[in-house]
Chain A
Amino acid sequence: MIASVILAAEEVEAKNPILPELSEMFWGAIAFFSLWALVKFVLLPPVLNVMNEREDRIRGDLDAADAARARQGSAASEVSDQLAGSRAEAAQIVDAARAEAEAERAAIIGAAEAEVASMKADAEAEIAASRAEAMSGIAPSVAEVAADAAGRVMNRQIPLSSAQPVVDRFLSNSN
């Protein structure tokens, strides 16, 4: 009986499930503080180094990419500048060539027109000359024919010498 009382008393003093056990605290403290020290001095620094290095590397690469992009932009603008310059130059050259060609054409046309004009003048002169020649050739025979015709009309001989001035005057008038 007394033994059962003692047993019951012991059962009442059974360990509270909430109170910490000293030996568990001992091992837990050893484990946790070792982990803290290890993480602080041994484990974490290399990992952080690598992560920082990677971050720096990525940032560097990004910066380089930005710089390259900027460079590319400036090169592109340079190219477009050059392109615009050469285009302007080309336009200038074309304009100059066109102007030159125009001038040349004008000169050629002028020369041709001058030639044509001189040829025309020559031709006219020639025509005038041949006409005068023809006229002068035709005048005696006209006087002769006129004198003959007049003599036939008047039934008398009209000397050619008197007819000649009249015909000449008429011809020159009619001309």
Chain B
Amino acid sequence: MSVLASTAAQAIEFAAEAELNADDAKATAGASSAGFAYGLAAIGPGIGIGYLVGQAVQAMARQPESAGQVQTTMFLGIAFTEALALIGFVVFILLKFA
């Protein structure tokens, strides 16, 4: 009887440890891939925003009288480009903390 009980307790313990290990492994994998996720997601938008702002500055330098319009459009473009990086950031948060 007591052997049976101790065996059952051991089985539960093993199961619990296995689950814990699975959780740990998942957390580790998530944490290590989180950095990659954000880093990769930032490449494209980084290039995009740099190019966009550079072109906007050029446009403003060529036609200072339309600087306001160019600036508004620039912010719009940045907002759309940046969205990709931000989705990457959200994925980072999800992988790391969720």
A-to-B contact residues, CB < 8 Å: 1-2, 4-5, 8, 12, 16-18
With beta carbons under 8 angstroms apart, the residue of B12, B20, B94 that contacts A18 is B94
Closest chain B residue, CB of each to CB of A3: B16
Those of B18-40 within 8 Å (CB) of chain A: 19-20, 23
Evaluate whether A5 and B16 lie within 8 angstroms (CB atoms) in the complex, with A12-B23, A17-B93 already known.
Answer: yes
Nearest CB on B from A15, distance (A): 9
Collect the chain A residues with CB atoms within 8 Å of residue B93's CB.
Answer: 17-18
A18 to B12, alpha carbons, bound, how many Å?
Answer: 34
| Contacts A5-B20, A16-B94, A18-B93 known; 8 new A-B pairs at CB < 8 A | A2-B16, A5-B16, A8-B16, A8-B19, A8-B23, A12-B23, A16-B98, A18-B98
A1 to B13, alpha carbons, bound, how many Å?
Answer: 6
Q: Is the CB of A5 within 8 A of B98?
A: no
A12 to B22, alpha carbons, bound, how many Å?
Answer: 12
Nearest CB on A from B23, distance (A): 6
Q: Is the CB of A5 within 8 A of B97?
A: no
With beta carbons under 8 angstroms apart, the residue of A2, A8, A16 that contacts B20 is A8
Closest chain B residue, CB of each to CB of A11: B23
Nearest CB on A from B83, distance (A): 15
Collect the chain B residues with CB atoms within 8 Å of residue A2's CB.
Answer: 12, 16
Q: Is the CB of A1 within 8 A of B12?
A: yes
Closest chain A residue, CB of each to CB of B9: A1
B79, CB-defined interface residue at 8 Å = no
Collect the chain B residues with CB atoms within 8 Å of residue A12's CB.
Answer: 23
Collect the chain A residues with CB atoms within 8 Å of residue B12's CB.
Answer: 1-2, 5
Evaluate whether A4 and B16 lie within 8 angstroms (CB atoms) in the complex, with A17-B93, A17-B97 already known.
Answer: yes
Collect the chain B residues with CB atoms within 8 Å of residue A4's CB.
Answer: 16, 20
| Contacts A/B (CB < 8 Å), 20 sampled | A1-B9, A1-B12, A1-B13, A1-B16, A2-B16, A4-B20, A5-B16, A5-B20, A8-B16, A8-B19, A8-B20, A8-B23, A16-B94, A16-B98, A17-B93, A17-B97, A18-B90, A18-B93, A18-B94, A18-B98
